A and B are shown apart, each in its own frame.
Chain A
Amino acid sequence: MQLAKDELEQGGVAIVIVSFAAPERLSYYQRVHQWPFTLLADPSREAYGYFGLTRLPWYRVFSMPTLKLYLHLLRRGRKMENYGRDDYFQAGGDFLLDRDGRVLFSYHSHDPADRPPVSRLLDEIKRARRERNARKSQGDLS
């Protein structure tokens, strides 16, 4: 995702990462990881609920895809930091919106290892831009 940041921003896409961790914990996390994105906190999880992101059942959290993901990360040298107690059951998701708030693409993670590939997000953004340009053209013609 970090590699695609420039491409996304040049295309007029802002990226916001939302966590249910409290701001002070998220601030520490950001000092460790230095993500080049805007990080925002939703400790009350109202935004999570607004986007339909609930808690996952245990059998999806402790599943084979999750185990494979963490083994893959550990093999790549990823250290498991302790950021304090956390809720491992909260679902995540990815959403593409336009400036009017229209939902152009939504992806609710089925389990912790389930995220859309960046290539998929880029494809959806290209599609959204094409559709917006087509609407503009139709508006110009009418």
Chain B
Amino acid sequence: MTDLSQAELERDEQLGLMLREALAPHHEAAFLVRLRARLGKAQRARSWDEELARWFWRGLAAATAVVIMAGLGLTDQQLNLPDDQVVATEASFAGQLLQGRSPGVEVFLVTMRSSR
């Protein structure tokens, strides 16, 4: 077991000073110039990131709105059909299946609507 005395829990000022001096960095002014330049680059990258992030959410909201509106438009166009046309389409859906063909999605939607 390690016995940690009170002295070990306090800072060793002399050791600290020795370490600070031994590890003291060189060419401080030159380093700070390089650091500022690097932060300037990071600033520009940050601005672009933020701008792109803003546009991403706006774009996503706009795309969602377009998809919803297009969906509503399609539904109205495809589903607001006269009843006789619905029956005809339903018949043609079943007919197409019986004939071994694959009916299109619009035929399927109309059939679904008439089943409700």
Check if A and B associate: no
